[in-house]
Structures are given as structure tokens and as C-alpha cells.
A and B are shown apart, each in its own frame.
Chain A
Amino acid sequence: MPASWVYTAIVIYIIIGFAVAYSSRGTMTRSVSDFFLANRTIGGFVGALTYSATTYSAFMMVGLAGLVYKGGVGALGFELIYLAGLVLATFFGPRFWLVSKKFNYVSPNEMLADRYDNKWIAILFTIASIIFLIPYSAVQLMGVGYLIEGISKGAIPFIIGVSIATIMAVAWAWIAGMRSVAWTDSLQALIMIIASTLVLLYIVYGAMGGFNSFFNTLEALNPQELTVPGPGFFKFSTFLGLTIPWFFFCISNPQVSQRLFISKSIKSLKGMICGFLIFGFIYTLISVLWGFSAKVIAPGLQNADMATPTLLGSQYVPPVLALIVMVGITAAAISTLDSIMLTLSSMLARDFYRNLNPSASEESELLIGKFVIPIIAVLAFLFAIQKPGLIAVLSVASSLGLMVVVPTIFGAFFWRRATAAGSITSFLVGSFVALYMQINNLTIGGYGPAIWTLLITIIVFVVVSLVTTPPEEKAEVFLGYLEKELRHKNVL
């Protein structure tokens, strides 16, 4: 495909994105809460779309499709168990929203540090988030770089694609903070779902004679792909190891859990959660069926991650449609990236800078927050252009590494006896176990790091909490307020 076509598609996408970002500024004020949380004024529809665009990255149409190509139907189970993890949001969502509004929390780590009455929780968790989320961001950039390089047949070098994605993400996070991120996310979520639906329908009806014929062909040619463990990739231990960290994603990943702070009402929060579930269900089925269609049309690929680029470059997908899908995947990557940057900058400003300088003014905190956005972007950019092998390990470990905060989050809301010592010790021990097992590729009893990290983290958290002193006054203020409000709002 000519490079000029690719550039034209990207320029159109950028112009529309900038128009949306600028128009989102509206009644913006110069407060920390406004910049990082849109002053908690986001409605249900935009909330659902920004939650969807933040959660679903380039992984879906490239990585998940590749996982289907490699391992068969187990990839569907993995992704839908992640989606079912949103049941946690029905219990934690209203609790996050209520306390963040009452105590004016900006970041999830700030909330935990206040509940446990220990600022080191916020500082430590922020460091961990940076360690795990910058490589995860770099993978998004690499995805865009490879995609644009591939679709232009090398005419647009990898580094140009990475640079475009970095600049877009910084700009859309900078223009109006959460407002511009939420509104550009909404645009990008719509692009993602429309582009992927169009290309799937085109290839199923154009190349395979409709869904009935597609499913019959799949059953006849690849019956193994429709069972688990299937071709062998999705052994039960692998399936369990992949799904456990992702099941807790909605409370353990700060760029997602911070979304639970931004709704303007309980009704909007409900709209956000329910809207995301419907979006996620449709987008997951589309991505999985797209992966299966690659298996039928282009069997025998050595690298499963090439399933989507191969299909997009095939005779079955017209160039204009391939361009739309490229923009859709780029949108998925950038919408995840700018949300991570904004969340990390809010954590660095509030949990790091403010904790170390308690007398700092709100203006200086906001200035620091804006200042670190491009720094985070440059770090992710530098990671991405190295194309190192370790980045993949850290990226896979990101959901595993962030899972170690799960017992701390459960304890904060459901156990008055939970202590800061229990939280910090379980976090440090859990992080060590996760990284040590992941880097050394260790298994115990046939199971990988996920199950052992979770078990050890829970045990350490409970045991250390039982032998240390809980912050009773803080727990009373925090949980006492919640109990009253939850009853009033009829929340389970």
C-alpha cells in the first residue's frame, strides 16, 4: 500500500482527534481534580467508552487474534473470564467512587495510603506502577510502529509510527487532562468497534460465504482448535496462570481503577460498568472470530502475531478497509497509552511529590503532573525503540506484578483488622515472588507464578496484619462513612 495513503489516513484521524480534544475543554478549571478526574463530571456513556478504550489496547485485534491462531478457543475463555472480572466492579466501584468523592482522592494509591494511614503505601505502589506500566506502554508504541511499517511495506519506518503515537498520546493527555482523554477515548472506542466489525463482516461474507459456512469450515478443518487444551497451548495450568491476574485487572490496574473515580453519580457509574460489559463482549467476540478467520484463510504462519497483518495484506481485504482497521488498532493503542500516562502523572504528582512535600500548593502539584507526562512518554518511547526481549517479559509481568495489591484493596474495604505493615510486607514479598518466578520461568507443582504469587501475598497480608496494630481511627472514619452511604444507596 502506498505510504501516501497511510499518511493521509493518519492525518485525518489526527485532525478529528485534535478537534474532539480541544472541544472537550469546556468549563475546565485549573484544579488537580479537574485535570486528572474531569472534576468527577463524566456521564455514563462517555464513561463506558473511555473505560473500554483504556482497557482494550492493540492487544485485542493483534495479540488476542494471534493467541486464537496459536491456541484456539482457549483464548476466548481467557478473555471472557477477564470480562467477567467486572463483577468485582459491582462491589468495589461504588466504594471507590464514594470515598474518593468524600475524601477528595485523586489516585487509587492515595486512597489506600489514607485508609491504612501510611504514606509509604502510596509511594511504593506508585514506583511499582511505573516499573510495570512503562514497559506495557512501550509495547503499545511498538504495536503501532510495526503495524504502520507492515501496512506500508516498510515505506514508513518503525520509528516514525512510534513517534506519531507518542506525540498523539502526550497531546491528548495534555490538552485538557482527563476531559480530553475521555472524549478522545470515546471517539477511538467507536473507531475500534466499527472498524473491527466492518472488516470481520467483509471477510466472513466476502471470503467464506457467511457465518454458517465459516463455522462449518472451522469444524471440518480445525476441530482441535475448538476444544481445550486444543493444539496444546492452553493446558489448564497455562489457562489458570493467564486468567488469574487478568480477573483482578479492574481493581489492580490504576489506569482502570482510577476510572471509578470520575463518574458524576451512581447512575453514571452504573452506565459506565454496564456499557463497558456490552462493548467488551462484542469486541472480544469480534477479535476471536477474526483470529479464527485468519486460521482458515492463512493457515501455517510461523509467527501467530502475524495473523492480523497477514490478513490485512491479503487479497480478501480491500486497501481502504485495511487502512480503516489500521487506524482502529492505532486508536486502541493510543487510547490505552494516554490513559496510562495521565494516571502515572497523577500518581507522581499526588502520591510522590505531594507526599514528600506536604506543604506544596495545588498549582505546583498540577504543574508537576503536567511536566511528567512528556517525561513518561519519552521513557516509553526509548523503551520501544530498543525493541528488547526483556520488555515482553515485563509487559506480561505487568498484570501479575500489579496483582500483588489485590489483598490490600480487599482489606481496605472489607477487613478492619488490616494493617499498613501487612499491606507493605505482602506487596514486597509478592512482587519478589512474581518477578523471580517470571524471570526464571519457574513453576511449582506444574503451576506458574500467578497462583503462587496470589496465595503467598494473601497469606503474608493476613498473618502480618494479625500481629501488627491496625489504624483503628482511620478505619472507623473510612469504613464508618462507607457503611452509612452504602445502606443509603442500597449498594451490596
Chain B
Amino acid sequence: MAENKKHLSALRLGWVMWFVLLILSAYIVPYVFMGNLPKMSGPFLFWTLFALVAIISTIRVTNYWRD
């Protein structure tokens, strides 16, 4: 039981850190690195990919759940 608790806590910490980095990238990358990229492959593509990664990550976390 204690092992399971430790494992879940470590997993939670890992995923929280991943989500924090992901969200921060949505602010930093378009504003800092894409100021001179006036194309559909600029912020438009970045934010679209960011959302896809966030969705896939969220689905992955919900896959741990069991009834």
C-alpha cells in the first residue's frame, strides 16, 4: 500500500511538472521566439501543436484511472 502511495505521488509530481512546462511554453515560445515569423507555420502551428500535446497528455493521465 505504501509503495503504491509513493508511486502515485511520484507520478503526480512528474505530470504536474510536465504540465507546468507545457503551459509556460505556450506563453514563452510565440512571444520570445516567433516575433518575426508571420506565417501559418509560426504561432498558429505552434499553438495548434501545443493544444494537441496537452490533449494527448490529458488523455494519458486519465488512462491511469480505473472504476
Contacts and interface: CB of A to CB of B under 8 A. Distances in A.
Given A80-B48, A226-B40, A277 B58 contact: yes
Contacts, number: 126
A102 interface: no
Interface in B41-67: 42-44, 47-48, 50-52, 54-55, 57-59, 61-67
Contacts of B43: 73-74, 76-77, 226-228
Given A226-B38, A226-B44, A84 B23 contact: yes
Nearest to A227: B38
Given A491-B65, A492-B8, A492-B11, A219 B39 contact: yes
A83 B26 contact: no
Interface residues of B, number: 42
A226 B26 contact: no
Contacts of B35: 227-228
Interface stretch (A120-128, A262-270, A375-383): A262-270
B38 A224 contact: yes
A226 B42 contact: yes
Interface in A209-255: 215, 218-219, 223-229, 236, 239-240, 243, 247
A33 B1 CA distance: 34
Interface in B9-23: 11-12, 15-16, 19, 22-23
Nearest to B59: A274
A215 B50 CA distance: 20
A269 B35 CA distance: 40
Contacts of A86: 54, 58
Contacts of A77: 26, 30, 43, 47
Contacts of A491: 8, 64-65
Contacts of A487: 1, 4-5, 8
Contact of B51 (A83, A273, A486): A83
Contact of B31 (A83, A91, A228): A228
A391 B50 CA distance: 34
B65 A223 contact: no
A285 interface: yes
Contact of B65 (A94, A236, A239, A240): A94
Contact of A270 (B11, B38, B47, B62): B62
Contacts of B27: 81, 236, 239-240, 243
A251 B62 CA distance: 17
A227 B1 contact: no
B64 A492 contact: yes
B29 to A, nearest CB: 10
A420 to B, nearest CB: 26
Contact of B58 (A87, A224, A240): A87
B40 A285 contact: no
B26 to A, nearest CB: 5
A16 interface: no
Contacts of B1: 487
A273 B65 contact: no
Contacts of B22: 84
B38 A274 contact: no
A481 interface: no
Contact of A90 (B26, B51, B62, B66): B62
B65 A218 contact: no
A489 interface: yes
Contacts of B48: 76, 80, 285
13 contacts: A74-B43, A76-B44, A86-B58, A219-B38, A227-B36, A239-B27, A274-B58, A277-B59, A278-B55, A285-B48, A490-B65, A491-B64, A492-B64
Given A86-B58, A91-B12, A239-B31, 7 more contacts: A74-B43, A87-B57, A90-B62, A226-B40, A227-B34, A229-B31, A267-B65
